[in-house]
Structure 1
Amino acid sequence: MNAIFVMLLGLGAMFLGYVFYSKFIAEKIYKLDPNFKTPAHEFEDGVDFVPTNKFVLWGHHFTSVAGAAPIIGPAIAVIWGWVPAFLWVIFGTIFFAGVHDAGAIWASNRNKARSMGSLTGDVVSKRAQTLFMIVIFLVLLMVNAVFATAIAGLLINFPSAVVPVWGAIFVALIIGQIIFRKWMGLGAVSVLGVVALYILIGVGPSVPLTLPDMAMGLSDNAQWILILFGYAAIASLLPVWMLLQPRDYINGLQLFIGLILLYGAVLLLGPDMTAPAFNANTPEGTPSMLPLLFVTIACGAISGFHGLVASGTTSKQLDKETDLRFVGYFGAIGEGSLSLATIIAACAGFATLADWEAVYTSFGQGGVSAFVEGGARIISEGVGLDVGISETLLTVMAVLFAGTTMDTGIRLQRYIFQEWGNIYNISVIQKPLVATILAVGSCLLLAFGAGGADGSGGLAIWPLFGTTNQLLAGLTLMVITVMLVRLGRPMYVTLLPLIFLLIMTVFALIIQLQGFYEKQDYFLFFLDIVVLIAAIWIILEATATLSKVSKENKRNLQR
């Protein structure tokens, strides 16, 4: 099948989802109120609580939730064929991710910008809150440790991306000052930021940079990981307007330009989907598509990490409640469009089926490299851009998104430690600097404790990321569902995705449990059991809470 048809069908479906379904959700389910005083105004402090233009906030939210995951997941999942991946991305974006992301912002916004973990204690139970916080911490630990490894690998493999990646930080600092002090309009600032970023991308291949091998006895991978966490720690303590917002905003614009370039090249080149629609000849050892497809593709369909960002940083910057439809739901559409582009790049970016099969030799192959190589070929042949520049552009896109996710992830981990300090009355960890040190320290402990001197220890627990992350999405939907029931509003828009997600997640955890046992990987086997018990426990807690709230509503109606 021609990739043009796949592209138009996917983008068209997501556009209709935003125009019609998100409007229904905003007006009939969440009932957004433009006059509601948001926490950004109520608790404005110039650091975390900052009322923000919805376009700038969309840039922060979208690039924070995107990261490298909507590239990695779909580029791996196409091993089962491009059609299953395509359908899950489209339906997941419209009926799962958009509802989940917007709902998480709404729930937090209506409760003084509290995180989903904190809200669970009031909405469900204190037991569920404890379990939720553990799952949240595990997801953030995985995301931060693994994304640091992924970024380090890309900077090592594509040294032409080093200058634009780090140069983008200085561009963002300048843009942040201009926006905050209102020296220029947003349109002019946008042009300035994007032009500066693309100049850096053009310069990158001419000045490739590498770190000295074994400096201080550390590999280049370990050196990059330490540098990245040092940067993320500083970034997480800075006011959001200074670096986080402008960096995410410029990165969001850069992504859309990159997507326009990639999609435009598809229109001009018209490549065929060389990968099979349904792959009947998967490599030996490839797990069953059902249910693994639904946890392999998380970001790009639905992801629990989005709920952490939505309730952790986004809700603290919401200027008007009605903005959350654009920020949350359209943010999910942006991520879905990136996942769709990834599927096309990974399935139409190879000249022949044999070339594609040479990459997908086992489950887990493909990933960012398939996206970069396939997308660069489409762009190069479609619009005539040099292959090296095309690879640098796509690599920078992936690295910048992973980097902004790390920025937000460390900040969120800092919030988690501070919330634990509040819950258990431990004043010392309520301090931002102490909480940040604990957040970065836990990530480095995993990175170097499980990975040795190479610092790649985050990969040790990464096989459980998909299931743990989707469990977190289910927990967020559970909290939103209980809130809707208490308000007497229709709950099916969140309950149906919740049921589907929990079934697939528990199913996947059981399958993975068997796999870990057969491989004698007892560490992951034990961790899988912990997550599985947490999942079942929280399902029971949620069921009991929903039943209780439903009975209370019936009694109130009878009075």
Structure 2
Amino acid sequence: MLWFFLCVLLLLMGYFFYSKLIEKIFVINPTRKTPALSMQDGVDYVPMSKKKIWLIQLLNIAGTGPIFGPILGALYGPVAMLWIVFGCVFAGAVHDYLTGMLSIRNGGANIPYLAGKYLGNPAKHFMNVLAILLLLLVGVVFVASPASLLTNITTDLMNSGSVGVAAVNDEAGASKGSILALWTAIIFVYYIIATLVPIDKIIGRIYPLFGALLLFMTCGMLFGLIFEGIPFFRTVGTDISVFDFFKNMHPSNLPIWPILFITIACGAVSGFHATQSPLMARCTQNEKEGRFIFYGAMIGEGVIALIWCMVGLSFYDDQATLVEAIKAGTPAKVVYDSAVGMLGFFGGILAVLGVVILPITSGDTAFRAARLLIADFFKYEQRNLVKRLTIAIPLFAIGYFVSTIDFSILWRYFGWANQTTATVTLWVGAAFLYRNRKFHWLATIPAIFMTAVCSTFILNAGIGLGLDYQLSVWGGIIVAAVVALAFLTLLKPLTTDEGNES
């Protein structure tokens, strides 16, 4: 238990100390008018309070990633917790803060525009394609996972007869597949509506209610772990020493490098966040709120990731049972089993609903962000509903087609696209700091690290070249070194005449 609370403490220390250093290096300007005030359009540029924005930002970025990823990461053992803590503090939260603040400085601009401005037009075009692909994958993945959880809830309620419909279910011959299809359709319809209407009409109003469910889920699962007498680290053996935090315990002996750093994205560092922060940058009323909104929401996601990592490490009697549960029903089964097992049927249902709202609230903003990216690329204004539909309808049609692909394949491509986006975004933040003669290493070091991770993964994994593992590791290191050298030699600091953007 002490290990878990130590990890939470480190996350909080990251917010109260390291984030202040980041803010000091970035140099905020509280007197500068933000896009929320200077570019109000009643649709996407809408001033909101910082507490509401923080909650929306947390719900936007915290999809199934900080739940499914840490559960899968738990297969490696306690080392997963170390990646969540240090990845979140030194990479993920820095990534989110720089993205959000640079968007505020550039009129609420999306990440492709920022990539073009600070790294050049080739980076802009690459990020346009990559970001839209990522958002599409996120939207589809975040339809499948909540639909699966809602199907489990519906099926159990019907079979238990607790809602008096078991007989009706038998007579109608309703199958689990038809229930899944129904929930999938309902979520898609909600996404369409939420993508089209002004951001303060649905997202700004009902997300506080979703936030209450999220709070219940987070506190409920932590309560269950502590007060239900479940030994911490039971899945991998309760006698954990500090050295075990560095041991690879994966039953299939999959390498920690680089797969763990791809598996646990949200909760550590995630490129998806780079597509979401600009949404809230368009609603932030003062630059001094950025640290709380962007860095702080990432720390909140890190705490959620730690809790679910501990569920994976503790709920089942042994690692073999955890593996069986994941194989039987993806991490969604682990979520359902642990919530109902620790909190009882109805308490567990509420906790699962808290998990359900995370991907739903991320999926709708993923499609919204994709619509805005496409609109920005074609310079197609979005105040008119018909013009929003012109982009949204084809986007959702493609999304529905992609949703028919096997979930495991979708998740694999989502993981690579997500971390590759994070890598480029970290280089964008590093470029801004470097060109403005600020201490750029706070972004450059994690950018180099993630370049090595993504390069090694694509060289070795099934979706890549399939090279020998050792060769892929050295190849990833060489790629990271070459990119870092090019960054430091080819990118030039701004001159006094060009002006500093502080």
TM-score of the pair, normalised by structure 1: 0.77
Q: Map of 1:256-271 to 2, 5 A cutoff?
A: 256-269=215-228, 271=230
Q: For residue 268 of structure 2, what is the aligned residue in structure 1?
A: 301
Q: Give 1:358's match in structure 2, choosing from 295, 317, 321.
A: 321
Q: Which amino acid aligns with 2:27?
A: K
1:143-292 correspondence to structure 2 within 5 Å: 143-159=138-154, 206=163, 219-269=178-228, 271-272=230-231, 273-276=233-236, 282-284=250-252, 287-292=254-259
Following superposition, the deviation at residue 157 of structure 1 comes to 1.1
- Report if aligned partners of 1:237, 1:432 keep a CA contact under 8 Å in 2: yes
CA deviation after TM superposition for structure 1 residue 401, in Å: 0.8
- How many Å separate the matches in 1 of 2:443 and 2:222? 32
Query: Could you give the per-residue CA deviations for residues 193-230 of structure 1, whole angstroms, max 9, x where no partner exists?
Result: xxxxxxxxxxx964789997689xx8433333233212
Which residue does the alignment assign to 2:310? Answer: 344
Report how far residue 375 of structure 1 moved: 4.1
Per the TM alignment, residue 254 of structure 1 is displaced from its structure 2 partner at its CA by 2.7
Shift of 1:309: 0.0
Provide closer, same or farther for how the CA distance between residues 281 and 5 of structure 1 changes in structure 2, counting only shifts above 3 A. closer
> Residues 64, 208 of structure 1: CA spacing in aligned structure 2 closer, same or farther, 3 A cutoff?
farther
Aligned equivalents of 2:493, 2:464: Cα separation in 1: 42
Structure 1 residues 262 and 149 mapped into 2: Cα distance closer, same or farther (>3 Å)? closer
Q: Which SS does the other structure have where 2:235 is aligned?
A: coil
Contact 1:38 1:321 in 2 (8 A): yes
Partner AA of 1:53 in structure 2 = S
Deviation at 1:420, TM superposition (A): 2.4
Deviation string for 1:436-482 (max 9, x for gaps)? 112212201212xxx3xxxx556533212212111100111111111
Q: Per the alignment, in what secondary structure is the counterpart of residue 159 of structure 1?
A: helix
Q: What is the CA-CA distance between 1:265 and the residue it aligns to?
A: 3.9
Aligned to 1:171: none
* 1:5–1:540 CA distance, 2 compared to 1 (3 A): same
Contact 1:54 1:327 in 2 (8 A): yes
Verify the 8 A CA contact 2:91 2:446 in the aligned structure 1: yes
In 1, the alpha carbon distance for the partners of 2:387 and 2:481 equals 34
- Identical counterparts, % of pairs: 25
1:544, distance to aligned residue in structure 2 (A): 4.3
Report if the CA contact (8 A) 1:155-1:162 is conserved.
no
Alignment partner for residue 327 of structure 1, among 293, 301, 313? 293
Deviates more, 1:30-39 or 1:54-63: 30-39
Q: How many residues align?
A: 475
CA shift digits 1:135-172 (9 cap, x unpaired): 11121121111111112211111118999xxxxxxxxx
Q: CA RMSD in A?
A: 3.5
Contact 1:100 1:473 in 2 (8 A): yes
Given the superposition, is the C-alpha separation of residues 540 and 30 from structure 1 closer, same or farther in structure 2, using an over 3 Å criterion? same
**Cα distance between partner residues in 2 of 1:317 and 1:29:** 23
Deviations 1:69-92 (A, max 9, x none): 1000000111111x1111001111
Cα-to-partner distance string for 1:109-153 (whole Å, 9 max, x where unaligned): 000001011222222121111111111112112111111111221
Q: Are 2:4 and 1:7 equivalent residues in the alignment?
A: yes
CA deviations 1:470-503 (Å, max 9, x no partner) are 1100111111111111211110110011000110
Q: Supply the distance in 2 between the matched residues of 1:404 and 1:161 (Cα, whole angstroms).
A: 24
> Per-residue deviation at 1:270?
5.0
Deviation at 1:515, TM superposition (A): 7.6
My pick for the range that moved more, 405-414 or 269-278, is 269-278
C-alpha contact 2:147 2:180 (8 A) present in aligned 1: yes
Contact 2:48 2:284 in 1 (8 A): yes
The answer to whether structure 1 residue 472 and structure 2 residue 432 are counterparts is no
> Per the alignment, do residues 280 and 541 of structure 1 end up closer, same or farther by CA in structure 2, a change over 3 Å counting?
closer
5+ long unaligned stretches in structure 2 = 468-474
Aligned pair in 2 of structure 1 residues 162, 478: CA closer, same or farther (>3 Å)?
A: farther
Residue in structure 1 matched with residue 338 of structure 2 by the alignment:
374
SS in 2 for 1:490: coil
- 3-state SS in 2 of match to 1:275: helix
Structure 2 counterpart SS, 1:550: coil
The residue aligned with 2:375 is: 418
Q: Is the 8 A contact 2:272 2:422 kept in 1?
A: yes
Closer/same/farther in 2, CA of residues 548 and 257 from structure 1, 3 Å limit: same
Q: Is the 8 A contact 2:271 2:425 kept in 1?
A: yes
- Change in CA separation of 1:343 and 1:479 when aligned onto 2, cut-off 3 Å: same
What SS does the aligned partner of 1:291 have?
helix
**Distance in 2 between residues matched to 1:113 and 1:161, nearest whole Å:** 45
**Per-residue CA distance 1:528-550 (angstroms, 9 max, x = gap):** xxxx99x97x9978864653333
**Amino acid of the structure 1 residue aligned with 2:378:** G
2:124 corresponds in structure 1 to 129
User: Which among 380, 395, 398 is matched to residue 439 of structure 1?
Assistant: 395
Please say if residues 157 and 163 of structure 2, whose CA atoms lie closer than 8 Å, have aligned partners that are also in contact: no
Cα shift at 1:399: 0.8
Of 410-419 and 357-366, more deviation after overlay is shown by: 357-366
How far has the Cα of 1:364 moved from its partner? Answer: 6.5
Alignment equivalent of 1:548, drawn from 466, 490, 498: 490
Q: Does 1:108 align with 2:107?
A: no
Q: Confirm or deny: 8 A CA contact 1:421 1:428 kept in the other structure.
A: no
SS state at 2:46 partner? coil
Which residue number in structure 2 is paired with residue 183 of structure 1? none
Report the alpha carbon displacement of residue 427 of structure 1 after superposing the two structures with TM. 13
d(CA) in 2 for partners of 1:38, 1:551: 25
CA distance in 2, matches of 1:556, 1:314: 29
Q: 2: distance between equivalents of 1:128 and 1:42? A: 28
Contact in 1 for aligned 2:216/2:354 (Cα 8 Å): no
Q: How far apart are 1:554 and its partner, in Å?
A: 11
TM-score by length of 2: 0.85
Match of 2:44, SS? coil
Q: Deviations over 1:4-40 (max 9, x none)?
A: 21331121111111111111111x2221222111000
Deviates more, 1:100-109 or 1:238-247: 238-247
